[in-house]
Amino acid sequence: MNLPHPSQLNLADIVLTSRKKSILSNLINIFSTTPSDKTKTIFGHVAIACSSNNKKNIIEALATGVTKSSITKYSKKHTVLIARLNCLKYFEGLQIINKAESYIGKKYGFLLLIGHLADYFFSNLIRKDFYFFRKLTGNNNYPICSWVVSYAYDSIHIRFNSLKPRCVQPDDIADEIQFNPLQWSVIFSNAINAPTPPKKYSQIPSGPLS
């Protein structure tokens, strides 16, 4: 199944992915599972659409830092879900992207991952969601992928699973999208058991993303 062509992306569309060959993504998948999870964790990475340009159309935090990339790199052997906030105004989209762009060039927050990992162990130990260590290790200068997206959306007062931005993981974003269809529309998904795009998006033209 081909991804939508970059020209079909809207400002601030959310791009959730599972990078099967990424050690970092696989680790995030493992410790994103918490006692309150409604679904099995699928996605270990999240990015945000910033343009319909064919070359640089998403903002994401990678191990090398926060940068602009092309969604085309997720066109093969990746599980992908693209979602859109319903009734998002254009100026709100610009505000979201301006916030996301403020992170470009910052180094990746590996210490934050340690905080998420520690919370994972304590959450499963006490059988209750635990957010202490990720708050303790939070540093705005060293973001992770979900941090970039959650803080960008927090700029227009949108939160995922009602969590503070520093506590959000890719799986929380996926859960919010899946279980809040009045607020979110899935415009593309090749994930098993993920929400099916509504009929109005079924005719989004796909094209070669290379």
Q: Which two tokens stand for residue 38?
A: 């409604």
Q: What is the pLDDT of residue 16?
A: 94
CB 73 within 8 A of CB 210: no
Residue spans per domain, the chain? 6-107+142-201
> What does the pLDDT read at residue 40?
59
pLDDT given at position 53: 74
> What's the CA gap between 63 and 125, in Å, rounded?
29
Q: What is the DSSP string of 77-131?
A: SEEEEEEEETT--HHHHHHHHHHHHTTTTPPP-HHHHHHHHHHHHHHHHHTS---
Q: Which residue carries 């290379």 as its tokens?
A: 210
What per-residue confidence (pLDDT) applies to 205?
36
Residue-level pLDDT at 116? 56
Residue 163 burial by Cβ neighbours in a 10 Å radius (0-12, 13-18, 19+): middle
Distance of alpha carbon 204 from alpha carbon 172, whole angstroms: 26
- What's the pLDDT score for residue 107? 82
Helix (H) or strand (E) segment spanning residue 59: strand 58-62
CA–CA distance, 154 with 140 (Å, rounded to integer) = 14
Run means of pLDDT, 10 residues per run, the chain, 210 residues: 83 87 58 55 88 85 90 83 95 96 84 60 60 54 80 95 84 90 93 56 37
**Which tokens sit at 2?**
């081909």
In one letter, which amino acid is 145? C
Residues ≥6 apart with Cβ < 8 Å to 195: 81, 177, 178, 181, 186, 189
Q: How far is CA 206 from the centre of its chain?
A: 22
Assigned fold of 6-107+142-201: endopeptidase fold (from Nostoc punctiforme) (3.90.1720)
What pLDDT score was predicted for residue 200? 46
Residue 109: phi and psi, rounded to 5, are: -90, 75
Give the pLDDT of residue 173: 93
